[in-house]
Structure 1
Amino acid sequence: MNSTVVAPADVPTSANFDVRTSSFFRFHDQLPTPAEVRSQARAQWQAGTHWGWKKRTVTDGYNAHPVPAVFEYKETSLFVKWGSSARISEAQALYAIRNSCGNSVPVPEIYGWRTDGDEMFLYMEAIHGRTLEDAWPGLNDNERSQIATELRNILHNLRRLKQDPSDRFIGSITRGCYYERALFEESQAESGPFTSVKDFHDWFIQQYKRMMPDPETVQEPYRKDLPDDSDIVFTHGDLHRSNILISSTSTSPRIAALVDWEQSAWLPAYWEDCKAHWTAETRGEWAVKYLPLILDQHESVWEAWWYYTNPVGC
């Protein structure tokens, strides 16, 4: 597969957008309205029939991070991720990946998105499967290794997405700021775009100083270990096993989709590896045995990355 340049102009930036070429519109004229999504999600939640890729407890904060709504049709199933914490940038990433990588990077097909007040609605294909986190205890060593190899190939295909060499930046797929849970929530509005890796690193190391009374006096023992000459690659940003779905129908486990692309962005090449280790049990089997099979290891950056993120990560 050849590399594909994805420019910000290639991705829709409208607050409301229908992917009219998607499979959903072969059978339907329009997506459910935000009001219909809210009603469906609440009805499924109250009936105890809601489902999603992850277990989620919903209490009085229902509208802050609500359960998804699922619409079952004869031809397909529709999954709607919504709420004030949903981000159009996730839908835009799915759009770009599907258009550029096809099935070589399995992701839910995106059908469109809506903005209603401060809430976003992301309409996508419902993937039937189990999270790798749930399935992991029941997999044997050969099956685990097979999944690791498949993941490495998928990420290799994702890395075939390239920026225009004349427009390199750190930021979201549309050249905006990006969302990152390893940083202060209040710093998200400042998180890009950056026109160089150096500019990004200079901003990155300032985040842990926010809590300090005199930040300018703080020593920088690890700035030199952040490589300003790093390649910039498109990054999932949260390769936790709960974001990897495996097929529930195949006799041998196969990856059905990578989900939850809300933290995806153009980032330094080491970021995927550092973040994957950050979300894993430090000396657990996944981190020690399998992540090295899946991702190139950037051990020279680990200590610096952890030094700057541990005080501020969500």
Structure 2
Amino acid sequence: MKSAVVTPADVSKAANFDVRTSSFFKHHDQLPSPEEVRSRARAQYLACTHWGWKTRDVSKVYNARPAPAVFEDMSLFVKWESSVKITEGQTLYVIRNSCGDSVPVPEMYGWRIDGDETFLYMEAISGKTMEDAWPEMKEDNRLRICSELRTILYNLRQLKQSPIDKFIALFLESQSETGPFTSVRDFHDWFVLQYKCRMPNSEIILEPYRKDFPDDSEIVFTHGDLHRSNIILSSSTPPRVAALIDWEQSGWLPAYWEDCKAHWTSTYLSKWPVKYLPLILDQHESTREAWNYYTDPVGC
């Protein structure tokens, strides 16, 4: 795909927003209310029919981290809870509108904020996670999927910031928002500082790996959690990438970030980081040790 400049002005900042041009509103007048979503999610959870139930610890007590709600008759998936941010919905909206099918993501239908909880209404994607499908996949299909993912991520990198307004920003588990930073150097200085601030005597902590962060790194749009559980494959033969999901950690980040994070979340998977990740992502081996060193205190 061709490069596309995206800016914060390309998406609504409203707390409650309907994507009236989406396919959902061609067949339905309105989205289910937050209360209807809570009720559906609770019923599916207790019946062990909610999305992802096979990989969750399921009990008969509805826990504090609610499972998503699925409305199959509407092809609707609702991700919701207090930690969900509308920025993830805004991201999906922008990617879909800017990249089309070249970066497959769930179509965004809208979002709501109700109390301290955010509700993201999106397309329900059929298929299996790559994590579930991988053990039974033939090698030629594995290689085909890796090639497809590399093309998808290349297309994602065609999203560009305005040349007069470049910045770094992301969301982390440990804090609601990080940035924006106007330079890669400023971001790296902040990243290192988070480690120092958590030490008993931050004034004497050395910075052994700061020099390994490339301050001239390109800023690119990054998924931020390219784990196999966040890649949905179709049930077709051969399988295809149906969608990349869970964009809550996405943002404008240094070019090495995607590779370092993908390796960090897959170290226990023997062949995956060694054989297959290099087929998908440009490798940044010289930065990984530094990234790993400073990551834990930040909660990436």
- State the TM-score, normalizing by the size of structure 2: 0.95
1:174 paired residue number = none
For 1:221-300, list aligned pairs within 5 A: 221-248=208-235, 250-281=236-267, 284-300=270-286
Task: Provide the C-alpha distance between the structure 1 equivalents of 2:50 and 2:250, rounded to a whole number of angstroms.
Answer: 26
- Percent of counterpart pairs with the same letter? 70
- State the TM-score, normalizing by the size of structure 1: 0.91
One-letter code aligned to 2:248:
E
Question: Does 2:171 align with 1:179?
Answer: yes
- Structure 1, gaps ≥5 residues long: 172-177
2:76 paired residue number = 78
Q: Could you tell me whether the CA contact under 8 Å between 1:50 and 1:67 is conserved in 2?
A: yes
- Structure 2, gaps ≥5 residues long: none
Deviations 1:68-107 (Å, cap 9, x if unpaired)?
A: 111122xx41000001121111111100000000000000
Task: Provide the C-alpha distance between the structure 2 equivalents of 1:222 and 1:119, rounded to a whole number of angstroms.
Answer: 39
**Aligned CA-pair RMSD:** 1.7
Q: Could you tell me whether the CA contact under 8 Å between 1:237 and 1:271 is conserved in 2?
A: yes
Question: Does 2:294 align with 1:308?
Answer: yes
For 1:116-131, list aligned pairs within 5 A: 116-131=114-129
Task: Provide the C-alpha distance between the structure 2 equivalents of 1:291 and 1:137, rounded to a whole number of angstroms.
Answer: 16
For 2:214, what is the secondary structure of its paired residue? coil
For 1:98-117, list aligned pairs within 5 A: 98-117=96-115
1:135 paired residue number = 133
Task: Provide the C-alpha distance between the structure 1 equivalents of 2:204 and 2:61, rounded to a whole number of angstroms.
Answer: 41
Aligned residues: 300
Q: Could you tell me whether the CA contact under 8 Å between 2:7 and 2:161 is conserved in 1?
A: yes
Alpha-carbon shift at residue 53 of structure 1 (Å): 8.5
Task: Provide the C-alpha distance between the structure 1 equivalents of 2:118 and 2:85, rounded to a whole number of angstroms.
Answer: 6
- Decide which of 141, 144, 152 is 2:142's aligned counterpart: 144
After TM superposition, which residue ranges in structure 1, 4 or more long, deviate above 6 angstroms?
none
Alpha-carbon shift at residue 57 of structure 1 (Å): 2.8
Deviates more, 1:53-62 or 1:34-43: 53-62
Task: Provide the C-alpha distance between the structure 2 equivalents of 1:54 and 1:227, rounded to a whole number of angstroms.
Answer: 41
Alpha-carbon shift at residue 136 of structure 1 (Å): 0.6
1:5/1:223 Cα in 2 relative to 1: closer, same or farther (>3 Å)?
same
